[in-house]
Structure 1
Amino acid sequence: MQPELIRRYAIAVPRYTSYPTAPHFHAGVNGETYADWLASEDGETGLSLYLHIPFCDRLCWYCGCHTKQTKRYEPVAGYMDALLAEIELVARHLPKRRKVGSIHFGGGSPTILSIPDLMRIRDALDRNFDVEEVAKISVEIDPGFVDREKLEGWRAFGVTRASVGVQDFDPKVQAAINRPQSFEQTHRIVSLLRELEIGGINLDVVYGLPHQTRSSLEKTLTMALSMQPERFAIFGYAHVPWMKKHQTLIDEKALAGVEERFAMQQLISDMVTAEGYLAVGIDHFAKPGDSLAVALDAGEVKRNFQGYTTDSAPSLIGLGASAIGKVQAGYAQNIVATGEYMRAVSEGRLPIGKGIELTVTDRVVGSAIEQLMCSYGFSIRDLRREYGAAADVLLADAARLQQQDQDGFISFDGDRFEVKEAGRVFVRTIAAGFDQYFGRNAARHSVAV
């Protein structure tokens, strides 16, 4: 692909894990708003839960998550009290007891939790919700700070899937991001997970890191592939030091340019698919037979703040500082600052910091963008059946994008809008052409490759 073409499409755009995207959330949505939203929820549908644990044993300099390093457990123990209280608080605002089919623990490093505290969370969830026996329960793991005892505790909790952070195995890259982690450490944890019958294993790999080269990335992928995980999540490093001050510790001169990032992305796709994995959207890969691959074949893949998922629940409740949830009325994000979050919960307030209520236009455009991100196309006729004439908002943008397309990346016949295979690597940029909010404020994003 021509360098000029790569540079033209590799602009800074959202990742579209939500629509509208988080920079457009506002403080007009608060705890009182959220209380009304919860009270109006359809009590007959299932829920998903996301629990955010904003603590790590170490601070990786590349990280874009809301987290903080702690060497003591006391801050985690204090936070636990607030998290348990929020679970009770949210449940009281729902009109009836709800079934839960999916639970995801993110962070931070959720495995920093002690086993007794983990069991306290399970007890609180069981008291307030009907967690299904076949619920999908996943956790993010830093292999450097977990052992058999911790993993046995998570198995007792009911975990069915684990996402293991790899990032890169090259020592020079690891030193540049403050993430020392050997292949042997990682392999040991993956083996333990399998031994404990936590079979749904995902490995996270990041490209575009400082001092990373195609050669070093190829070695990392070869080692990662040898562990034969069920899934890979392969992310381009998002260098956003204006949002994450610790990223200023990364030497920007050691970062690859967009053309090299594009080459790394293509290398990853070629290597992983050559091993039989199926590409799911822009950055996930799954073995045939894995639930994500099955959903891909059925056209049922979804996208949310955890990436690509099989979770189709209409509402996801975010719990913990900075956690984002989506209920039927809109998006709500908890207060980011841990201390302020804990204070709000201690005062009996739903700890919402900001959010956005969805209009019918938001729902139409959001559905179209999600379909683009998951399956590279959408039908205006199908959206019109669900949303009525509101779907016509897409017509002008679809026609404009087709007219502007000088590279043969798009097809549009008046109904079906499709991103052709050659343009799929740039689907984020193409999706931004439908984003009714993009460019309205000073929000800054990472590049699209």
Structure 2
Amino acid sequence: MTASSHRAIETNVPRYTSYPTAPHFHKGVGAGTVAGWLDAIPQGDALSLYLHIPYCDRLCWFCACHTKQTLRYDPVSEYLQALHAEIRTVGARIAGRAAVRAIHWGGGSPTMLKPEDMKALRAEIDKAFAVAPDVEFSIEIDPNDMGDERLDMLAEIGMNRASLGVQDFDERVQKAINRDQSFELTAGIVEGLRERGVRSVNLDLLYGLPHQTLNTLAATLDQALSLRPDRIALFGYAHVPWFKKHQTMIDEEALPKGLERLAQARAAAQRVVAEGYEAIGIDHFALPGDSLAIAARQGRLRRNFQGYTDDRCETLIGLGPSSVSRYRDGYAQNIVATADYCRVVSDGELAAARGIAFSDDDRMRGWAIERLMCDFALSTRGLLDRFGPPAQALLAEATILAQSPMSGLRQDGDLFTITDQTMTRLVASHFDPYFAKGGARHSVAV
């Protein structure tokens, strides 16, 4: 093991699904600012939509998403009426100027919605926005929610990409994170999706979970790989009990520690690649013919709040409480508390509560960090061509960093290359001036 790897497993840094990162959003960006950003979306633009369903019928203790458990459906029904209202308000401001090229439903558990509510939600989107006929429509699926009726409805409303939460198939690990889910159940849902023409299936897996070992993780991977998913997202469990109190239900003594966690990450990646998948960034894998793998090979890989993506849309609009939007001029996050969100949007108002407007320096550093996260490299020529003379200052920082053998970055002609991919988030943090002066707490780098 290299000294740089030791540094990575001991350091807490952002995941860089955005830059600037969410802890630096502020109340100076609100509904008025977002109204202007929506009005400025140009004619003929391409949009992505993210819809957040902030409810689950069980609460998984590992989860760090904005969600709440409910055993009653009434709160979900009431929430959906508010979400429909926000869709109408945002859609009216865009007024058909832009086409929706991608839709993603996340949560929470979008698949806990009743089939008729899934259909009504898709219909509301179609009424409010100009949706492209070939829209990429992905939904996060909890296999425990699924049955033939819901599978049929997902096909009817046009879902063509599915992401199934798995985490781990080991019964002891599942009990420790409050998520019972058999391999047989998961396999049946994957089969049902494919029978209905869903062209892409992703499985979400985690390493670093309580009671997880190299052997149990290998067994889970063998089962997951037997389903031949098109993509695998293999994340490190982010233990952030100061942020998500329900994570205190997890026994910290049962969590794999630094070196063991690193060994799990490396062994899992090697196992997946050995089965013919291509590594995408730091925690995704895809079959060679998948659009994500093609984008990575062509240098078109992007990174946003859903992780790695081949989505080329410059505008991503988040709908629902806590959802984050990315506009050309900055980020905006909706009100987090569901009740407050519902009250505001039901009155026909925009829900943005905080965010950050991009400076020229933010745009440049955001592009550089995204390339490091996606390509493990930063091109001098690419940076200068895009940003001109102001890029010289950032390149000077990179040059100084590359001179340190412990930095994880080296200079090879035009390219600055990350030498140890376990260091990727740590290397990116060196180009983040907000991180150095911020007090936010983050998960470990590996």
Q: What TM-score, normalized to structure 1?
A: 0.97
Runs of 4+ with deviation above 3 angstroms: none
| 1:405 partner SS | coil
Cα pair 1:38 1:95 within 8 Å, conserved: no
Cα pair 1:273 1:279 within 8 Å, conserved: yes
User: What is the match of residue 191 of structure 1?
Assistant: 191
1:331-350 per-position Cα deviation (integer Å, ceiling 9, x unaligned): 01101100010011122210
Aligned residues: 445
Confirm whether residue 447 of structure 1 aligns to residue 433 of structure 2: no
| 1:17 partner SS | coil
| 2:65 partner SS | coil
2:433 to 391, 415, 436: 436
Confirm whether residue 410 of structure 1 aligns to residue 409 of structure 2: yes
| 2:328 partner SS | coil
Structure 1 CA distance for aligned equivalents of residues 248 and 434 of structure 2: 29
Cα pair 1:50 1:318 within 8 Å, conserved: yes
| 2:389 partner SS | helix
Structure 2 CA distance for aligned equivalents of residues 132 and 32 of structure 1: 28
Letter in 2 for 1:425: T
Q: Which runs of 5+ in 1 are unaligned?
A: none
| 1:47 partner SS | strand
Confirm whether residue 231 of structure 1 aligns to residue 231 of structure 2: yes
Structure 2 CA distance for aligned equivalents of residues 360 and 428 of structure 1: 22
Cα pair 1:6 1:259 within 8 Å, conserved: no
Structure 2 CA distance for aligned equivalents of residues 175 and 444 of structure 1: 27
Which one is further off, 305-314 or 123-132? 123-132
The structural deviation recorded for 1:19 is 0.4
User: What is the match of residue 180 of structure 2?
Assistant: 180
Letter in 2 for 1:310: D
Root-mean-square deviation (CA, aligned residues, Å) is: 1.3
| 2:403 partner SS | helix
Letter in 1 for 2:84: L
User: What is the match of residue 5 of structure 2?
Assistant: 6
Structure 1 CA distance for aligned equivalents of residues 378 and 317 of structure 2: 27
1:229-282 per-position Cα deviation (integer Å, ceiling 9, x unaligned): 001000000000000000001000111111111000011111000000000000
Structure 2 CA distance for aligned equivalents of residues 137 and 392 of structure 1: 40
The structural deviation recorded for 1:94 is 2.3
Structure 1 CA distance for aligned equivalents of residues 253 and 5 of structure 2: 20
Cα pair 1:41 1:95 within 8 Å, conserved: no
User: What is the match of residue 101 of structure 1?
Assistant: 101
Which one is further off, 288-297 or 11-20? 288-297
% same residue: 52
The structural deviation recorded for 1:403 is 2.1
The structural deviation recorded for 1:95 is 5.9
User: What is the match of residue 259 of structure 1?
Assistant: 259
**Inter-CA distance 299–5: structure 2 relative to 1 (3 Å threshold):** closer
Structure 2 CA distance for aligned equivalents of residues 196 and 415 of structure 1: 48
| 2:279 partner SS | strand
Letter in 1 for 2:440: A
Cα pair 1:177 1:210 within 8 Å, conserved: yes
**Inter-CA distance 95–404: structure 2 relative to 1 (3 Å threshold):** farther
Cα pair 2:96 2:130 within 8 Å, conserved: no
User: What is the match of residue 121 of structure 1?
Assistant: 121
Which one is further off, 208-217 or 288-297? 288-297
| 1:438 partner SS | helix
User: What is the match of residue 57 of structure 1?
Assistant: 57
Cα pair 1:43 1:95 within 8 Å, conserved: no
User: What is the match of residue 310 of structure 2?
Assistant: 310
Letter in 2 for 1:74: D
| 2:106 partner SS | strand
| 1:316 partner SS | strand
Structure 2 CA distance for aligned equivalents of residues 88 and 250 of structure 1: 41
**Inter-CA distance 205–305: structure 2 relative to 1 (3 Å threshold):** same
User: What is the match of residue 343 of structure 2?
Assistant: 343
Letter in 1 for 2:353: G
Letter in 2 for 1:282: I
The structural deviation recorded for 1:389 is 2.2
The structural deviation recorded for 1:436 is 1.8
| 1:88 partner SS | helix
Structure 1 CA distance for aligned equivalents of residues 274 and 412 of structure 2: 34
Structure 2 CA distance for aligned equivalents of residues 214 and 270 of structure 1: 12
Structure 1 CA distance for aligned equivalents of residues 263 and 395 of structure 2: 34
Letter in 2 for 1:173: V
The structural deviation recorded for 1:354 is 0.8
Cα pair 1:292 1:301 within 8 Å, conserved: yes
